[in-house]
Amino acid sequence: MTATQLSSRTTVLGRVAEGRAGRTANGVLRWVEPTLAVVALALVWELASRTGILPREDFPPVTHIASAWFHDIVGPELWAGIAASMTAWAIGMAIVVVVGVPLGMLLGTSKISYQMSYLTLEFIRTLPAIAALPLLLFIYGIGQELTVALVVLAALWPLLIQSMYGMHDVDPIAVSTARVYGVGRTRRFFLVDLPSCMPYIATGLRISGTFGLIFAIAASLLVGGEGLGAAMTNAAMVGDRALLYARVLTTGLLGLAVTFALVLLERRTLRWHSSQRTVNQ
């Protein structure tokens, strides 16, 4: 290897290392501000509660909430509630994916079906899923089936509509090119249609997953039964404010975990897409 080649290779490796270091620094800085904001809020809450600015009965000190949270995570009641809520969420989301993606892509296949279903689906999406709770209570009663039904009603429409949008926006030039080269319908679906729809489906899955988790927890909070919402109700009924806030904190952490998991799945699945290359830069 000549000196010129060695120098060129060293320069390239240096730029790669600088790029990685820059991405690492940006990733760290991305977490610094939110972390500092949470810490500052916790300190203000702690001081306001201990000095009486906030009523201590309703707003216990953060240290008491933290203590209740650490005691709660080693007990069986919290984990039973999390397991019940996440099981209902997983079953509901599986139904949503199996129904929403194929149906949405089917509706977006032709211009006629897209135009006929667009306004109807947009109208249905604005209806709150919680409005169907009395009917679902009559059909399923209090239990996991009710929670799964609420998850499906809340999470189906974003994924279905995004799948329809994705299929409708498939590049017609790519479709025509596939036809010219004699690519059959089945093969074209996997080579052209599905890759074009994947960014839309990933976005819809992320939105649907968040909505579904909200209703998986809210179902037991509103009507009882098993779940994390019921665990929060139990803490409120015994008057343990610190435990109630601790379980609300657990709910928020669970939501963050689900969101990060869906975002990671989207990035892993769409590594080839330009939007993810832009995010990772």
Q: How confident is the model at residue 276 (pLDDT cuts 50, 70, 90)?
A: low
62-280 has which fold?
MetI-like fold (1.10.3720)
Q: Model pTM greater than 0.85?
A: no
On the CB side of 6, CA atoms within 13 Å amount to: 3
- What percentage of the chain has pLDDT greater than the value 90? 16
| pLDDT, mean of residues 10-35 | 57
Which of 25-34, 133-142, 169-178, 180-189 is predicted with the least confidence, judged by mean pLDDT? 25-34
For tokens 């968040």, name the residue: 210
**Is the pLDDT reported for residue 99 higher than 90?**
yes
Comparison of pLDDT for 171 and 61, the residue scoring more: 61
Q: Enter the tokens of residue 33.
A: 């501000």
Comparison of pLDDT for 201 and 266, the residue scoring more: 201
Q: Residue 275's pLDDT is what?
A: 60
pLDDT in tens, 211-252: 999 989 988 888 877 888 888 988 888 888 899 999 999 999
| CB-based contact 105:163 (threshold 8 Å) | yes
| pLDDT, mean of residues 250-257 | 90
CA gap 218, 229 in Å, rounded: 6
Domain boundaries, the chain: 1-59, 62-280
Q: Residue 83's pLDDT is what?
A: 92
Q: How far is CA 110 from the centre of its chain?
A: 30
| pLDDT, mean of residues 194-201 | 86
